Amino acid sequence: MLRFIGSFFGAIFTMVTMGLLFAALTVGGIFYMYSRDLPSSDSLAHYAPPTISRIYSAEGAVMDEFATERRIFVPIDDIPDLVKDAFISAEDKHFYTHAGYDVEGMIAAARDAIVSRGKNARGASTITQQVMKNFLLSGDRSAERKIKEIILAARLEKTLSKDKILELYLNEIFLGQNSYGVAAAAQTYFNKDLADLSPHEAATLASMPKAPSDFHPVRNKARLLERRNYVLQQMWQNGYLDEATYTLEKDAPLQSVQNGDFAAYRNVLPPRDYFTDEIRRQLSGTFGQDEFFSGGLSIRATEDPELQKLAAEALREGLEKYDRSQGVWRGTGKALKPADLAPGAWRAALAAVAGLPRDVEGWHAAVVLQLGADTATLGIEGVDDGTDATLPAKDVTWARKRNKDGTMAKKAKVPADLVDIGDVVMVRAITNDDGSFARWSLRQVPEVQGGFMAMDVNTGRVMAMQGGFSYEDSVFNRATQAARQPGSSF
């Protein structure tokens, strides 16, 4: 009997051992098969990411920037611990202890998927695996790609240090709004440098990798807030925040550039003009588009800001004076729908109208809201409600409209002779000799254009250049791109 029992358990032990051996050989064979012909991870040691090219003034201020992927590369030593801790807590809390893949995380993810019947499926990829997926593999979700991901992650852990892997991850990851890497995202969402982020702001950024479009700070504000507070909780549980800080930060409101809580970084820069765009055009031809938009070039412009301002003003004044002497009103050719003229709607609708010369100093976009017997009531961009926003009859007597058949109408006597309700127009404030406000005046982009360039004859440096009346109206640079004989223009 004892011999039978011993034989029975011996057989079971043999079967289990053989089964485990067979499973191990099968898994090993699968990993061996997929490990062949995998891309090399050696190139990541010399990774040079696409970064922003910037144009600086002589004083060192940023004048403009260009990028296909908006990325600001930051070495790992310059990334604050707070930001590192937030992403590690959100994405891979065992980052500094695993060998590239996290078995515990895989088991937990599988358990959650089974318990929730697939409704609560979550990723189990480590930061190292995500680096391999972003750099060397496709983004498809398949068992084959996951196996390759694990193999490459294990190899990468033997090639690069943990800090180097984290540096690659934090500078490469897409965080929405054309922002790649944490530094660009901090500017995009908060208009701040990484060092100035608070814990709840760092946690907000760390909430994005999952799916930036699903955690938009305006469209999905509640969902982003929930995810942010989860990341803060993980930071507290992992020992990166004390309980008092965690409690304070999770109660902080969710603020962002997109919600209007901070000024947008782009709005802090000077508006793009003919000078910086000509630099783009010439350097793109010299170095190629790819290098200019992704090479992280630092360009020092020769522009003299004061001369440039005077050049723009002089050219605009001359062109506008000639245009008004012709006495023809063309307007902008744009109009708002009647539904957009309501008191609570016209500002947003007007702000959405593109192609207006908003870069002309002193000019405002406006919409005609009402027409009276001898005045027009306007809604003016950047002017508070309750402010005098009427267009008087005496401002329109210089012009006449062109009829549809090409003939000229009679000279205008009242605003209704030139504009209709809903018309989008440009206006500027006319002042009295003492500087006080006198009235609003209709403006339009001149039909006849021109260009201006001023150079230092000793050095060849271009000090000022204006390629037309308004860059926002027309990017064509008449100072460099127009093929005209100089002749009588001297």
Which residues are paired to 364 by β-bridges? 427
Burial of 1 per CB tally in 10 Å (0-12, 13-18, 19+) = exposed
Three-state DSSP string of the chain: CHHHHHHHHHHHHHHHHHHHHHHHHHHHHHHHHHHCCCCCCHHHHHCCCCECEEEECCCCCEEEEECCCEECCCCHHHCCHHHHHHHHHHHCCCCCCCCCCCHHHHHHHHHHHHHCCCCCCCCCCCHHHHHHHHHHCCCCCCHHHHHHHHHHHHHHHHHCCHHHHHHHHHHHCECCCCEECHHHHHHHHHCCCHHHCCHHHHHHHHCCCCCHHHHCCCCCHHHHHHHHHHHHHHHHHCCCCCHHHHHHHHCCCCCCCCCCCCCCHHHHCCCCCHHHHHHHHHHHHHHCHHHHHHECCEEECCCCHHHHHHHHHHHHHHHHHHHHHHCEECCCCEECCHHHHCCCCHHHHHHCCCCCCCCCCCEEEEEEEEECCCEEEEEECCCCCCCCCEEEHHHCCCCEEECCCCCECCCCCCHHHCCCCCEEEEEEEEECCCCCEEEEEEECCCCCCCCEEEECCCCCCEEEEECCCCCCCCCCCCCCCCCCCCHHHC
Judge whether 91 counts as a catalytic residue.
Answer: yes
Q: Return the structure tokens found at 281.
A: 């055009």
List of residues 6+ apart from 338 with CB closer than 8 A: 421, 422
- CB distance 454 to 464 below 8 Å: yes
Q: Identify the active-site residue in 89, 91, 167, 256.
A: 91
Q: Could you give the CA distance from residue 450 to residue 469 in angstroms, rounded to a whole number?
A: 7
Judge whether 125 counts as a catalytic residue.
Answer: no
> What residue type is assigned to position 482 of the chain?
A
Q: Identify the active-site residue in 138, 325, 436, 488.
A: 488
Q: Could you give the CA distance from residue 71 to residue 270 in angstroms, rounded to a whole number?
A: 20
- CB distance 182 to 175 below 8 Å: yes
List of residues 6+ apart from 204 with CB closer than 8 A: 189, 217, 224, 228, 254, 256
Q: Which residues are catalytic?
A: 91, 488
